[in-house]
Amino acid sequence: MPGARNEPFRETACPLAVCDGSGWILGPEDVARECECRAQRLKHGRVRGVASAIPPRYRGVSLDRPPVSDMARDLETRAAVGEVRRFVEELDARLDAGRGLWLFGDTGTGKTTLAMLVSKAALEAGRSVAIYSLPKLLARVRRTYDAEPGGDSYLAFFERLTSVDLLHIDDLGAEKRSDWVLEQLYALINERYEARRSVLVTTNLSHDALEEQIGARTVSRLNEMCDEVAFFGEDRRFGKVA
């Protein structure tokens, strides 16, 4: 049994309440075996360096609280809330199968709120999640090109993005179209498609407009990977949190 803990084992408590926090269980005759939490913690250690925190505005989001509970009673958004509820209830099975969600509709109809609810549920279930708006994600990729020796390289960051259980991209299609943007999005989505890893996206664009903005190949893969959920109604941000 190792004497010193490495980075993923700085926590003192076992998330499964089985070992003493070291990731090892001492058995008969002082023979140690790995705790199930060890693989989970090592996995989270490998994907450190991606944005995985729920933004403060959405940390209290819940199916049982406004604005989501209000959306569940609204005829225009009831069906969308039901689809997201089913995804959360079947979270482990959906993520294990590489299934995701594609939330689309007009500005302020609640897409980001429900997407954050899904990511929050995944984090609470011990899953690894990367959360980015598309402009911030591409800016983060660009910064890897200027990394100092020993810093965060493009390949290292790309590997973490493709390794998390759930990649959450908000405002897909919001970035100005360019060959570089098309290349980055296709590489990322295709890698997750081939590895059967889930993607959660929100967009204001219709299917055809999104194809025009990010390319038919990328949209085709998202279409196969994700269940599409349409959002209708007026901008809920006027007087409310959306």
Which pLDDT does position 6 carry in this prediction? 43
Q: Are residues 16 and 114 in the same domain?
A: no
Residues 41, 107 share a domain:
no
**56 preceded by a cis bond (ω within 30 of 0):** no
- Tell me which residue range forms the domain holding 100: 49-231
* Angle of CA points 95, 123, 70, to nearest 5°: 90
Same domain, 40 and 54: no
pLDDT of residue 34: 64
Of residues 12 and 148, more confidence is placed in: 148
Residue type, 235: D
Distance CA 15, CA 20 (A): 10
Q: Pull the structure tokens for residue 150.
A: 């020993």
pTM listed for this prediction = 0.77
pLDDT given for residue 23 in this prediction? 61
Task: Identify whether the C-beta of residue 235 lies closer than 8 Å to the C-beta of residue 108.
Answer: yes
Q: Which pLDDT score, from 0 to 100, does residue 12 have? A: 53
23 and 129 both lie in a single domain: no
DSSP assignment of 43-61 equals HHHHTBTB--PPPGGGTT-
The DSSP annotation for 178-240 comes to -HHHHHHHHHHHHHHHHHT-EEEEEESS-HHHHHHHH-HHHHHHHHHHEEEEEE-SS-TTSSS
Q: In terms of pLDDT, which residue wins out, 87 or 239?
A: 87
Beta-sheet pairing, 198-203 with 100-105? parallel
Across 173-178, average pLDDT: 90
Is residue 41 domain-shared with residue 126, that is, in the same domain?
A: no
Residue 228 β-bridge partners: 102
Share of the chain above pLDDT 70, in %: 73
How high is the pLDDT of residue 171?
Answer: 94
5 pLDDT more than 60: no
- Residue 59 reports pLDDT greater than 70: yes
Q: Could you give the number of structural domains in the chain?
A: 2
Q: Are residues 25 and 56 in the same domain?
A: no
Residue 92's pLDDT is 96
The C-alpha angle 174, 170, 192, rounded to 5 degrees, equals 105
- The per-residue pLDDT for range 104-120, each reduced to its tens digit, is 998 888 999 999 999 99
For residue 201, tell me if it sits in a domain.
Answer: yes
What is the Cα–Cα distance from 3 to 187, expressed in whole angstroms? Answer: 41
Residue 242 lies in a domain: no
10 Å CB burial of residue 194 (0-12, 13-18, 19+) is exposed
Indicate the DSSP class of residue 81. H
Residue-wise DSSP of 108-162: TSSHHHHHHHHHHHHHHTT--EEEEEHHHHHHHHHHHTTPPTTS--HHHHHHHHH
Confidence band for 144, pLDDT divided at 50, 70 and 90: confident
pLDDT at 9: 42
1 — pLDDT class (breaks 50, 70, 90): very low
Question: Which of the two residues, 108 and 130, has the higher pLDDT score?
Answer: 130
- Examine the domain organization and report whether 104 and 19 are in the same domain: no
Q: How confident is the model at residue 145 (pLDDT cuts 50, 70, 90)?
A: confident
Whole-number pLDDT of residue 242: 41
Domain co-membership, 37 together with 56: no
* Rounded Cα gap, residues 15 and 184, in angstroms: 35
Quick one: tokens of 22?
Answer: 């070291």
Q: Does residue 68 form part of some domain?
A: yes
What's the confidence (pLDDT) of residue 22? 63
Q: State residue 150's pLDDT score.
A: 58
Between CA 171 and CA 203 the distance in angstroms is: 5
